[in-house]
A and B are shown apart, each in its own frame.
Chain A
Amino acid sequence: MPTPEPLVHVVDDEAAIRDSLAMLLRSVGLQSRAYGSAQEFLESWRPGGAECLVCDVRMPGMSGLELQEALKARNAQVPVVLITGHGDVAMAVRAMKAGASDFIEKPFNDQVLLDAVNRALARARDGQDDGRAEIEARIELLTPREREVMLLVAEGRPNKVVATRLGLSTRTVEVHRAKVMEKLQARSLAELVRMAILCGLMRP
């Protein structure tokens, strides 16, 4: 049985985004299929092969997060990359905990999206192994204090709350947080959450 070509499903209510995403994916040789709404995707999608989903969070009708829940309910293992024009920490944490492969804010760097898509496709192909060992090694580099800060930040706590919890000044928390991001090579809070979940530091 030949390995099917990897396929990226793009779900966005806005045509320009769908079209430009498809073009971006095509420019790196990835095949894509576009859908105007979550319902449309659910109706026509049949599981199979190496595939992932790039999905807008806010859409009329079913939102990206709801689509993610729906797929989970169907026990579908398709990795989801969520994109949003209006993200906040709480939404990112919620998405990652719900098992999103990645959470990206618009407008995004093309490489960030392509990396996320590739990671998602790899995850679809190889199961859960997506460099857990390496990330665990990075986490080993954190001081105990940095680790505490990382966990609270990954829970979506604002710096102020983290500072109060740990009895530190906000300024100190900001410094610790920057160090955490640097040591873990996390480019966004979403990635930080994903790493924390991956290494079992946080419950999905």
Chain B
Amino acid sequence: MIARANAASVTPMLKKWILPNVLVAVAYAAASELALHLLRYAAETAVVWFASGVGISAMLLLGTRALPGVALGALLCAIFSQKPLGLMLLSTVLTTGQIWLTWWLLVRVTDFNPALARVRDMVKLVFIGASVSPVLNGVRAFVQYALADDHLPMPAHALVKAALLGEMAGILLLVPAVLGWANSRGQRLRPGERAEALLLYATGVAAALGVFASMLQPMLLVASLPYAMFPVLFWAAARFGPRETATMYFIIGVIAVAGTGFGRGPFGEAHITFGGTYGNLAELYLFLLVLGATSLMFSAGRQQLVASQSALRESEEKYRLLVDHQTDLVAKIGIDGRIQYVSPSHREFYGKPEAEFIGRTLSEAVRPHDEDLCCVQDAWKEVLSPPYQTSHEHRVLTPRGWRWVAVLARAVLGADGRPQFVVAVARDVTDRRRAEEQARQHLQQLAHVSRVSSMGEMASAIAHEINQPLTAIANYASACLRLLRSGKAQPGEALETMQRVASEAERAGQIVRKMRGFVRGEEGQMALIEPAFLASEVMRLASAEARQSGVELKSEVAPGLPPVLADSIQIQQVLLNLVRNAVEAVVGGEGPLREVSLGVRRAAEGGVHFTVRDTGPGLAPEALDKVFEPFYTTKPDGIGIGLPLSRSIADAHGGRLWASAEASGAAFHLVLPSAQELEHADA
């Protein structure tokens, strides 16, 4: 068991730690040996130093996990150099530390992205990745040489310069290529591209061999020949990306170093320039650095541009997809009123191609309903002045007949703050309008039903109300007749009696008139109405029913109330409804006090406050709002439409209607704004 568990835990350990580190160490040591063999005539320290590049690449790819491998590689390297043990260990520790520091500065401090897709990452790689370790090494070497009193073959500064640049070149040659390939796993070139890449590499190799291995010698050997590498690398950068550029750069670099190492090419031994061998090497490295930095940054810049362009294209495609496939009608209109763009939805909605809209004015392109023309014109004026937006609904002629569209338009302002063009979004709202119209008709029908049913209930009360004067008239008339027939009549008495008959008949007529106006429920006119008049009318209409129910109806009207702007019939309807509800509540209750009062006073917030109080059972707190919901009723035969309707009437008057629970019974409140208030509100 234990053995198996160990075996199971060893395999991931092997995969995760041991194998990568061994590989890193081997690569590190191999890179250093390769460098020494490539530059056979250079001193040990002046070779192109790929080993640091291996270490930094490993750290960037694997993180601190690669640190033991780097240390091991450095140790192997030190062992090969056959230094004393102390120096060997010191060198190992310092080298490992430098590589770790480079990694730490790049990844932990500057947020370096190894994808190398941005110019800024390339810059970091050049100025941190390829610089920290070489500079520290240079300092180290300088101190070392300064302390040692040995006779050196060349001035120390030349050697140090060559070593420093060599290490920089080694890093810059290797790291981008490794990162490029490591980060683009699975990214394959298309066949055409692959052919071009092969051609590129072939051209690059040929050019590099020609220049640095002196294959073209002697006819073309001139000092500026290495610049021939630029077109090759820019080709790679422009047609491919950082990966191919870095690869091409690495190949050219290796060839250049090897060629130079065998004494060939412009930097070869045969062409010792000022500064001797080390001077030549330093020049080679410097050339490679400039070549690499330039072409790699160019490739990253191009990559960045391509990426942002493709992001732009994607987002444009996304928006185009949205606009092209939505059912809303999107249009762009110039401030001259001419259409610049219409979404494809126009074609289906208006039944004509998009081309027929472009360059025309709105009224040329679509036909609004004659009744809506002024609203369309107003909207256009509105959208061109602050706040530069408008919304309205109008009818347009379409192949399906007149359709309602809801238009939302907004002007897009330029830098000078003036409108540049207008974007309008329209939507077919015909179905919604139709539903609204239906709902409105239903409500009107309900209002009528409610009024009629209300009248039905009131009919008996009205009959009674009219019966009273009729009975009195009949009595007076009969009495008068009898007196006159009997000859006992006093002239004054008969006259007075007939006077009473006339006044009672007048009263009956008034009742009939009031009732008729109320039942018809004609579209009333808004007029200035005295609150006292409303109260007295309602008292008059409700008194019969209250009396029949044995409920005392009182009213109290404060003096000096301002007139309200109201539809007299509608407000009477609301108040009468409240009073009748109150009377029913009192009848339904068992309270000793059977009273309904209508109070009218000035509202605290201005306006006029009507209060209908009853001494009925009152309302539960949760019912206070519910009673205004349609079809909610507490009455066994109620239809629950009176109060919601009343509230909508109150709303239409700019007023409020609400209920409250009182110490005994309930109270309903109607507040109407006074006529003056409305005037002020308008002003």
Which residue of the partner chain B has the closest CB to A113?
B475
Contact B460 A110 (CB under 8 A): no
Residue among A28, A58, A107, A109 making CB contact with B548, cutoff 8 Å: A58
In the complex, per-residue mask of B635-673: 1 if CB is within 8 Å of any chain A CB, else 0: 000000000000000000000000000000000000000
Binds B, one of A14-22, A74-82, A125-133, A149-157: A14-22
Contact status of A110 and B471, CB under 8 A, knowing A19-B500, A58-B547, A60-B550:
no
Looking at the assembled complex, report how far the CB atom of B569 sits from the nearest CB atom of chain A, in whole angstroms. 26
| CB-defined contacts of A21 to chain B, threshold 8 Å | 475
Residues of A within 8 A of B464 (CB): 58, 85-86
Q: How far is the CA of A17 from the CA of B547 in the complex (A)?
A: 15
Cα A167 to Cα B389 with chains together (Å) = 79
B311 at the interface (CB under 8 A from A): no
Answer whether residue B552 sits at the interface, using C-beta atoms and an 8 A cutoff: yes
Asked whether any CB of chain A lies closer than 8 Å to the CB of B470, the reply is: yes
Task: Please state if A110 and B547 are interface contacts (CB–CB under 8 Å).
Answer: no
Decide if B500 touches A17 in the complex (CB within 8 Å): no
Measured between alpha carbons, how far is A153 from B482 in the docked complex, in Å?
A: 36
- Complex interface: chain A residues within 8 A of B550 (CB): 58, 60-61, 63
Question: Known: A13-B547, A58-B547. Is A85-B482 also a contact (CB below 8 A)?
Answer: no
Check B463 for interface membership: any CB of A closer than 8 A.
yes
B460 partner, pick from A24, A59, A61, A86, beta carbons under 8 A: A86
- A1-31 near B? 1/0 per residue, CB < 8 Å: 0000000000001101101110110111000
Are the CB atoms of B463 and A27 closer together than 8 Å?
no
Cβ–Cβ contact A23 & B463, under 8 A? no
Chain A residues contacting B468 (CB-CB under 8 Å) are 14, 16-17, 85, 106
CA distance A152 to B116 in the complex (A): 110
CA distance A14 to B504 in the complex (A): 12
CB proximity of A87 to chain B, nearest CB, Å: 10
Q: How far is the CA of A95 from the CA of B113 in the complex (A)?
A: 106
B504 touches A16 (CB 8 A): yes
Please tell me if the beta carbons of B479 and A24 are within 8 angstroms of each other in the complex.
yes
A106 with B479, Cβ < 8 A, contacts A23-B497, A86-B460 known? no
Contacts of A59 in B (CB 8 A): 547
The interface residues of chain B lying within 8 Å CB-to-CB of A16 are 468-469, 472, 500, 504
A23 touches which of B460, B469, B470, B475 (Cβ 8 Å): B475
Are B497 and A108 interface neighbours, CB within 8 A? no
Q: A27-B483, A86-B463 are in contact. Are A20 and B471 (CB under 8 A)?
A: yes
Known: A60-B552, A86-B464. A23 touches B476 (CB 8 A): yes
A107 and B474 contact, CB distance less than 8 A? yes
- Contact partners of A20 in chain B: CB under 8 A: 471-476, 479, 500, 504
Q: How far is the CB of B542 from chain A (nearest CB, A)?
A: 13
Say whether A108 contacts B552, CB under 8 Å. Answer: no
Q: Which partner residue on chain A sits nearest B485 by CB separation?
A: A27
- On chain B, the residues within 8 Å of A13 by CB distance are 547
Which residue on A lies nearest to B467, using beta carbons?
Answer: A85
Per-residue interface assignment for chain A, residues 89 to 128, with 1 indicating a CB less than 8 Å from any chain B CB and 0 otherwise = 0000000000000000011111000000000000000000
B478 in the interface (beta carbon within 8 A) = yes
Q: Tell me the B468-513 residues at the A interface (CB within 8 Å).
A: 468-476, 478-480, 482-483, 486, 497, 500, 504
Could you tell me the distance between the alpha carbons of A107 and B474 in the complex, rounded to whole angstroms? Answer: 7
Complex: how many Å from CA A16 to CA B478? 14
Given contacts A13-B547, A19-B500, contact A24 B475 (CB under 8 A): yes
User: Is A17 touching B478 in the complex (CB atoms < 8 A)?
Assistant: no
Asked if A60 and B471 make an inter-chain contact with CB atoms under 8 angstroms apart, the answer reads: no
Assuming the contacts A13-B547, A16-B500, A86-B464, asked whether A27 and B478 have C-beta atoms less than 8 A apart, the reply is yes
A163 → B minimal CB distance (Å): 26
Residues from chain A with a CB closer than 8 A to the CB of B483 are: 27
A109 to B481, CA, bound (A): 13
Contact partner, B467, options A26, A28, A107, Cβ 8 Å: A107
- Known contacts A24-B479, A58-B464; A110/B504 CB under 8 A: no
If the complex has contacts A60-B552, A86-B460, A107-B467, are A17 and B475 also in contact, measured as CB distance less than 8 A? yes
- Distance between Cα atoms of A21 and B483 in the complex (Å): 14
Could you tell me the distance between the alpha carbons of A58 and B464 in the complex, rounded to whole angstroms? 10
Asked if B475 and A110 make an inter-chain contact with CB atoms under 8 angstroms apart, the answer reads: yes
B474 surroundings in chain A (CB, below 8 A): 20, 107-110
Q: How far is the CA of A61 from the CA of B476 in the complex (A)?
A: 27
Q: In the bound complex, what is the Cα–Cα distance between A63 and B551 (angstroms)?
A: 12
In angstroms, Cα B483 to Cα A20, docked, is 13
Complex-state Cα separation, A7 to B612, whole angstroms: 44
CB-CB under 8 A from B478, the residues of chain A are: 24, 27, 110
Chain B residues lying within 8 Å of A14, measured Cβ to Cβ, are 468, 472
Contact A19 B548 (CB under 8 A): no
C-alpha spacing A59/B470, complex, angstroms: 18
- For window 439-474 of chain B, which residues contact chain A by CB distance below 8 Å? 460, 463-464, 467-474
Residues of B within 8 A of A109 (CB): 474
CA distance A17 to B466 in the complex (A): 12
Given the complex of chains A and B, what is the CA–CA distance between A182 and B475 in angstroms? 27
Contacts of A17 in B (CB 8 A): 468, 471-472, 475
* CB-based nearest A residue for B548: A58
Report B578 CB to chain A, min CB distance, Å.
20
Interface residues as binary, B542-554 with A (CB distance below 8 Å gives 1, 0 otherwise): 0000011011100
Q: Which of chain A's residues have a CB closer than 8 A to the CB of B504?
A: 16, 20
List 5 A–B pairs whose Cβ atoms lie within 8 Å, in order of A's numbering.
A58-B548, A83-B471, A106-B468, A107-B467, A110-B474
Sample of 20 more A-B contacts, CB < 8 Å, known A20-B476, A23-B475, A106-B470: A17-B475, A19-B472, A20-B471, A20-B500, A20-B504, A23-B497, A24-B479, A24-B482, A26-B479, A27-B478, A27-B482, A28-B482, A58-B550, A60-B547, A60-B551, A63-B550, A85-B463, A85-B464, A107-B471, A108-B471
